[in-house]
Structure 1
Amino acid sequence: MAVSPPVCDFGAPWHDFILPGTDGRSYCLEDVTGPNGTLIMFICNHCPYVQSIIDRIVRDAKEMQAAGIGVVAISANDVADYPQDGPEHMKTEADRHGFTFPYLYDETQAVAQAYGAECTPDFFGYNAAGQLQYRGRFDSSARTAGPQDARRELLEAMLEIAETGKGPENQTPSMGCSIKWKAA
């Protein structure tokens, strides 16, 4: 079942974290922020919505990083029920796709809860002051990739945030698989 998160809560603050990465290091928010903005995305390995755009995510992340935007991916799924989303598989996924950004594991799911993440992929675009300016989709892709020339909505928004500090007023929510929460 596809899930769409709420629209952007403009100005909402980011949340600090310390999470292990696939490279064996631990990262906090300060380690991943960029001077012109920061993209925090919640993804996972098995989700068809993520898989349909993962190579486009990597492509656009490189452009964002070149523009001084920090980029980080976090996986928060319950690995007891979804072992393919566990840290060893995350490392394989990051290596296979050439991630140029940290891929972090949120085992307790506390970070995903703090951000209000609801689906994979779920994108949170912040300005340099740590204020939320984008909570929209990557592009028109869904369970299958959209056209190669699809408007690069996330990239455009993040470049606008880097330049002006503000995101676009109109945003189309992301869509994806629900975060796989642990049983209470």
Structure 2
Amino acid sequence: MAAIPPVCDFGWKAPEFKLPATDGRVLSLSDIRGPKGTLIMFICNHCPYVLAVRDRIIRDARELMAMGVGVAAISSNDAVTYPRDSFENMRKVAEEENFPFPYLYDEDQSVARAYDAVCTPDFFGFNADLELQYRGRLDASRNSAGPADLRRDLFEAMKQVVETGEGPREQIPSMGCSIKWKETA
């Protein structure tokens, strides 16, 4: 069943984190942060909503990074229940897809909880002061890619954040597979 995150809580401060990346580094929010803004994306390897737009996520990330936006993707899914989302498989996907951004593993799911991530994909666009300015969709695609000429909601919003420090007031939430939470004892 599809999950939909809440609307943007403008000005909410990005929580710090320190997570292992698929390239062998351990990175913090400070390492990811860009001079013009920061985009934190919760994605995973198996979700059809992510798979449908992964090429667009990569395209938009490259363009935003060229504008001074720091970008990282985080996978928080329970890899015991969903083995395709294991750290080893994350490494393979990041390499095969040539991710231009770090792909981080949130094994204990603490970062997903701190960000109140709901689904994959779930996008958090922050300004240069790490204040939330966008929590919307990539574009109008769902679990299959929409037409190539769809409005690039995430890209346009983050471009506005780069230029003005503020995101658009009208935002359409992302939609995707729910985060696969571990069972708690």
Fold match by TM threshold 0.5: yes
- Residues 49-76 of structure 1 show CA distances to partners (whole Å, capped at 9, x for unaligned) of 0000001100110100000000000000
Alignment partner, residue 21 of structure 2: 21
Within 1, Cα distance between the matches of 2:66 and 2:79?
33
Alignment deviations for residues 121-144 of structure 1 (CA, whole Å, 9 cap, x no partner): 000000000100000000000000
Output the CA distance in 1 between the equivalents of 2:105 and 2:135.
21
- Please say if 1:166 is aligned against 2:166: yes
Counterpart residue number, 1:178: 178
1:70 equivalent in structure 2: 70
The alignment-based identity, stated in percent, is 61
Equivalent position SS for 2:146: coil
CA distance in 1, matches of 2:130, 2:23: 25
CA distance in structure 1 between the aligned counterparts of 2:118 and 2:83, rounded to whole angstroms: 19
Secondary structure of 2:65's partner?
A: helix
In 1, Cα distance between the equivalents of 2:133 and 2:126?
A: 5
Matches of 1:116 and 1:46, distance apart in 2: 20
Letter in 1 for 2:114: A
| 1:181 CA drift (Å) | 0.3
Deviations 1:56-110 (A, max 9, x none): 1001101000000000000000011001101110011111111010000000100
TM-score normalised by L of structure 2 = 0.99
Aligned to 2:126: 126
Q: Distance in 2 between matches of 1:47 and 1:139?
A: 16
Per the alignment, residue 100 of structure 1 pairs with 100
- 1:43 equivalent in alignment to 2:50: no
- C-alpha deviation, 1:149, in angstroms: 0.5
Report the RMSD for the aligned CA atoms in angstroms.
0.4
Structure 1 partner of 2:52: 52
Q: Give distance in 1, aligned partners of 2:6 and 2:58.
A: 24
Structure 2 counterpart SS, 1:156? helix
Structure 1 segment 71-90 matched on structure 2, within 5 A: 71-90=71-90
Number of equivalent positions: 184
Paired position in structure 2 for 1:112: 112
Q: CA offsets, 1:15-43, max 9 Å, x none? A: 10000000011000011010000000000
